[in-house]
Structures are given as structure tokens and as C-alpha cells.
């Protein structure tokens, strides 16, 4: 909680978190503008994504304001499969631009409590990185596996990889690997870590240079009374 508050108190990071949904809206409009003929269905599907993205920005702002007041609701029932589907739907347009295939698999939807806006943001940041630090024609896969007491979410990519000695550092605020010449300010993973901790989970990272990375999130299947607000 502390880190989310610290991060969100910095206006730079709030601006960054809003930059991505704005980029999604811009990309949607660009894609429409580049088409020679635009059908009613094209307009409708573009409007749908824009409407959802604006909704997400508004939810995010609400959550950040609530989080800053230390009143964030961690007692919602999370529909993990729906959150994964939303992330894929919202990032699909960016993935398509790099010809990256996004897919997910799930053995069973876990029963879990937490904050769906924050959990969406956590998975969004990880999948966005998996696309950003990948090559054209790459693959990104989300695998969710639930056991009776806990569940895991893996985000796998076959991108550029992370040097072993840097794996611990990438979760530090503003840390970026030297080779990072992509957009970003180094806060996405710091936010991921604080959201995972807030949900009583932990993260493991496995990576091989030029082969790819996997971020494995492990969470308990929480009971309502186990969350201390």
C-alpha cells in the first residue's frame, strides 16, 4: 500500500499511467483514419474500445484518489479471467501493430478478493512490457492456473530478455535496463510489485537473453476476513 501511495503521489507517474490509455485511444483513431472505407461496424467497434478505455481511465483515477486517502477497497470479488480478457482486448491493437500474438489459457477461474482496478493495472503493465520488450512477430501468453489454496498467473514472452543480474533491480522505482530505448519511465514494475504485495502475493521472474522472460505471480485464494484494511 505504501509504495502505491508513494508512487501515486508523484504527478509524473499518474501522468504516465494515463498516457497508456490515451495512446490506445489515439491508436484506435489512427487505425480508423488509415482505412479507405469505414463501415458502421468499424465506427461502432472503435467507439466501444474508446468508451471502455475512458471508463478504465476514470476507474484508475478514482482508485488513485481512494488509494491516496488510504480507503481503497480490497474486498471485491475478482473475476481474474474477465480481467485477463479485458487486458488482452485493450492491448490487442498495440500488439497487432508489432504483429505479436496475444493469447491466454486458464484451467479454472480462481476465487479471490482484492481490487479489480489495481489487479487490471498490474496485469496490464506486465503484458504491455511483454509486448514492448519483444520483437515484431513475437508471442505473449498469459497462463492462469488455480489450485485449491492458491493460484498463479504467468506472463510469458519470447522477447529480448533481462540480464540475470538486473532481475532484482527492475522492480525498483525508476530503474530501467541500459538497453531500454523504449517509451517508459521505469515505474510500471514498481507498481506491479506493490499491487501484488497488497494482494498478499509474490513474483518470480525467469529470463534468458534473446529468448524471453516470464513473470510468475503467485497469490493465495484469499478469504474476505484475511484482508486487513
Nearest residue (CB) to ligand ADP, 7 versus 222: 7
14 forms part of the interface with ligand ADP (CB under 6 A): no
**Distance in Å, CB of 137 to ligand ADP, minimum:** 16
Q: Is 130 in the site for ligand ADP (CB under 6 A)?
A: yes
State which of positions 58-97 bind ligand ADP (CB under 6 A). Answer: none
Q: Which of 32, 54, 57, 177 binds ligand ADP (CB under 6 A)?
A: 177
189 interacts with ligand ADP by CB under 6 A? yes
Residue 217 binding ligand ADP, by CB under 6 A: no
Is 213 among the residues that bind ligand ADP (CB under 6 A)?
Answer: yes
Nearer to ligand ADP, 161 or 220 (CB): 161
Name the closest residue to ligand ADP (Cβ).
184
Q: Dump the DSSP string for the chain.
A: -HHHHHHHHSHHHHHHHHHHHHHHHHHHHHHHHH-SS--HHHHHHHHHHHHHHHHHHHHHHHHHHHHHTT-----EEE-HHHHHHHHHHHHHHHHHHTT-EEEEEESSPPPEEE-HHHHHHHHHHHHHHHHHTS-TT-EEEEEEEE-SSEEEEEEEE-SS---GGGTTGGGSTT---TT--SS--S-HHHHHHHHHHHTT-EEEEEEETTTEEEEEEEEE---GGG---
From candidates 123, 162, 198, 222, binder to ligand ADP by CB under 6 A: 162
Binding region for ligand ADP (CB under 6 A):
125, 129-130, 133, 157, 159-162, 170, 175-177, 180, 184-190, 213
Amino acid at each position: 500500500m505504501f509504495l502505491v501511495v508513494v508512487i501515486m503521489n508523484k504527478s509524473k507517474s499518474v501522468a504516465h499511467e494515463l498516457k497508456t490509455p490515451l495512446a490506445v485511444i489515439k491508436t484506435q483513431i489512427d487505425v480508423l483514419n488509415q482505412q479507405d472505407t469505414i463501415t458502421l461496424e468499424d465506427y461502432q467497434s472503435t467507439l466501444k474500445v474508446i468508451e471502455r478505455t475512458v471508463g478504465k481511465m476514470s476507474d484508475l483515477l478514482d482508485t488513485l484518489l481512494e488509494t491516496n486517502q488510504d480507503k481503497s477497497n480490497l474486498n471485491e470479488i475478482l473475476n481474474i479471467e474477465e480481467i485477463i480478457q479485458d487486458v488482452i482486448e485493450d492491448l490487442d491493437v498495440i500488439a497487432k501493430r508489432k504483429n505479436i500474438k496475444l493469447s491466454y489459457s486458464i484451467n479454472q477461474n480462481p476465487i479471490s478478493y482484492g481490487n479489480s482496478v489495481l489487479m487490471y493495472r498490474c496485469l496490464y503493465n506486465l503484458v504491455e512490457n511483454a509486448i514492448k520488450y519483444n520483437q515484431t512477430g513475437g508471442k505473449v501468453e498469459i497462463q492462469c492456473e488455480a489450485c485449491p489454496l492458491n493460484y498463479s498467473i504467468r506472463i510469458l514472452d519470447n522477447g529480448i530478455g533481462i540480464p540475470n543480474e538486473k532481475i532484482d533491480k527492475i522492480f525498483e522505482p525508476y530503474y530501467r535496463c541500459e538497453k531500454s530505448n523504449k517509451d517508459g519511465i521505469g515505474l510500471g514494475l514498481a507498481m506491479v510489485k506493490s499491487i501484488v504485495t497488497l494482494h498478499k502475493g509474490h513474483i518470480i521472474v525467469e529470463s534468458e537473453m534473446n529468448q524471453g522472460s516470464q513473470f510468475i505471480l503467485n497469490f493465495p485464494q484469499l478469504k474476505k476476513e484475511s484482508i486487513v484494511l
